Amino acid sequence: MRSLLVTGGAGFIGANFVHYWLAQHPGERIVVLDALTYAGNLASLDSVRGRGELTFVHGDIRTPGLAESLLRESGVTVVVHFAAESHVDRSIAGPDPFIETNVTGTHELLKAARTVWLEEGRSSGKVRFHHVSTDEVYGTLGPSDPPFSEATAYAPNSPYAASKAGSDHLVRAYRQTYGLPVTTSNCSNNYGPFQFPEKLIPYMLVNALEGKPLPVYGDGLQVRDWLYVEDHCRAVERVILDGREGETYNVGGRNEWKNIDVVHLLCRLLDQVFRDDPALERRFPRSPAASGRPTASLIAFVPDRPGHDRRYAIDASKIERELGFCPLESFESGIRKTLSWYLANEAWWRAVLEGHHLRDRTAGP
């Protein structure tokens, strides 16, 4: 039976993965390792923290020896590495934490897996180190360029993207040099429950509910390929179970949208749900939709950020062909689920925005 170490398992994608894996693989053990930075939230695991299969460890992947001891003590056979600093704007303002976490932290995990699995031979049966990366390592695309494939040359344009490219190269090097059984997935933009409200979709949703401006960078015509987070979790599952060792798999939704069109879609859906549910007017009185005004009236164009990539798009042919993966959610169905979740979990995102979750850290399981 597998035993997983999930790094960053209290973050957005990591928490969704933990929920998904426990539902799909009951009885398999999961150790969550998370530093609980501003984007990590134990409340995202509240509904599963009482399960005997789950252990939470408050710790930093950069700490020498920590991952090594967890691999030994818990008999870990699969590392699923989500932990990362991931916000581009923050990487522009201060790159150091991105290099330290995404490069140095990944290296600590790789060293631990090499020591315990290969040098000490403590693994019994099949082991796998799966590294979760991003499409941003490939740089930017022109309007008519073909989507990124696994053969696309790396050309990162932000400190965040460069740090993830560095971690990708380290993972590959540990396979080539030491024979560590690794896989990597490079995914397009995710959205869904538990996402910290600094990323586009939850940021716009929360601002709209609070009646705050909806700032759109530049002309808003930047294009992103969007994937619902549970579909991403399904893709990672397929790679862990059936992906070929040493291979990289690009994961995308074949779902390109301009940023401004995403914002307008969110505004239309918010207007609709306020019309359908009068109780929302009392819960969110500052939202323009509460008084019958269009939410889109909050849109405000702001100066573009430095090095803003124009277009991302993923060619997911390889994972579709080899592993039979395809997304189950359309963009509109996923957005509706996401909107419903944020409306139903107001206490979660208010606590996040006020930093309350940072004051509730725990080092225990």
Which residue numbers are catalytic?
Answer: 135-136, 160
At 209, is the secondary structure helix, strand, or coil? helix
Residue entry with tokens 């592993």: 323
* Residue 81 φ/ψ, nearest 5 degrees: -100, 95
**Alpha-carbon span 269 to 288, nearest angstrom:** 13
Phi/psi for 130 (5° steps) reads -105, 125
Measured distance CA(37)–CA(121) in Å, rounded: 33
With residue 78 as reference, give the H or E element that holds it. Answer: strand 78-81
Q: Are 93 and 99 in contact (CB under 8 A)?
A: no
Interior/surface letters 317-341, b for 16+ CB within 10 angstroms, e for the rest: ebbbeebebebebebeebbebbbeb
The span from the CA of 316 to the CA of 149, in Å, is: 7
